[in-house]
Amino acid sequence: MSKIVFVMTGADHWTLADGTQHPTGFWAEEAVAPYQAFKAAGHEIVIATPGGVVPPLDQASLAPQFNGGEEGARKMADALASISEIQHPVKLEDVDLDDYAAVFYPGGHGPMEDLAVDATSGRLLTSALKSGKPLGVVCHAPAALLAATEADGSNAFAGYRLTGFSNVEETQNGLAAGAKWLLQDRLVEIGADYRAGEPWAPNVVVDRNLVTGQNPASAGPAAAEILKKLT
């Protein structure tokens, strides 16, 4: 089958407004659920990060309260450990869109730190959007869209219906008050047609080849929408 590239954060912290570094990385479920769905459908996964660093895990994403209890947490940890590709990422700078059938960005707060200002990622996102290939972006990963700037200064995603981690969710998460900026606000500022769903419930928005998910619970459903586009 075809190859799908996962573009993942290389950041292990998110710098807050007061300069403190909140430990983070990628969120386990947002990598695991799509990975399992794509692999089950017979696709090959390649993981890419800025500089080719091993993507850091947000350890909180393996906590029982985020995985339905102790058993769920163990299953998530085991599933994550089975993804050997995470330990062998390629450099984002070396990714050639022509080699892949789809592009997928898992979230976690990490992308708020690095991918939000990564020009290489921004160019890949812009090219993927214009190519018509399925492009999936979940939770906090839509922060990467902020770097998708056109030559005239506009954003490539202006006018697209999309979603991402909401202000309400960030507030309930306890981090909104200390943040430099909030994802929902920035997505609106770039001209995107932001669509919020119920906090923490699956919410997937599809606009042309762009598939976005609001939160961790949306990662699996977003992957399912991408698979529909690959058939």
Instruction: Tell me the pLDDT tens digit for each residue of 184-231.
Output: 999 999 999 999 999 999 999 999 999 999 999 999 999 999 999 998
pLDDT bracket for residue 1 (50, 70, 90): confident
How far is the C-alpha of 90 from the C-alpha of 50, rounded, in Å? 9
Phi, psi of 198 (to 5 degrees): -65, 140
Q: What's the mean pLDDT when you consider all of the chain?
A: 98
Amino acid at 196: A
Task: Kindly give, in sequence order, each residue whose CB lies less than 8 Å from that of residue 108, ignoring residues fewer than 6 positions away.
Answer: 9, 24, 25, 26, 27, 30, 58, 61, 139, 140, 141
pLDDT for 25: 98
Cβ-proximal residues to 177 (8 Å cutoff; 6+ apart), any chain: 171
* pLDDT of res. 217: 98
E-assigned strand segments in the chain: 3-7, 13-15, 21-23, 44-49, 90-91, 102-105, 135-138, 161-162, 193-194, 204-207, 210-213
What is the predicted pLDDT for the residue at 98?
Answer: 98
Rounded to whole angstroms, the Cα distance separating 45 from 7 reads 10
Across residues 164-185, what is the average pLDDT? 98
Tokens representing residue 107 in the block: 């979230």
36 sits in the region (left: phi over 0; alpha: psi -120 to 50; else beta) called alpha
Q: How close are the terminal C-alpha atoms of the chain, in Å?
A: 11
Coil, helix or strand for 15?
strand
The continuous run of DSSP H or E covering 38 comes out as helix 28-40
pLDDT of residue 43: 98
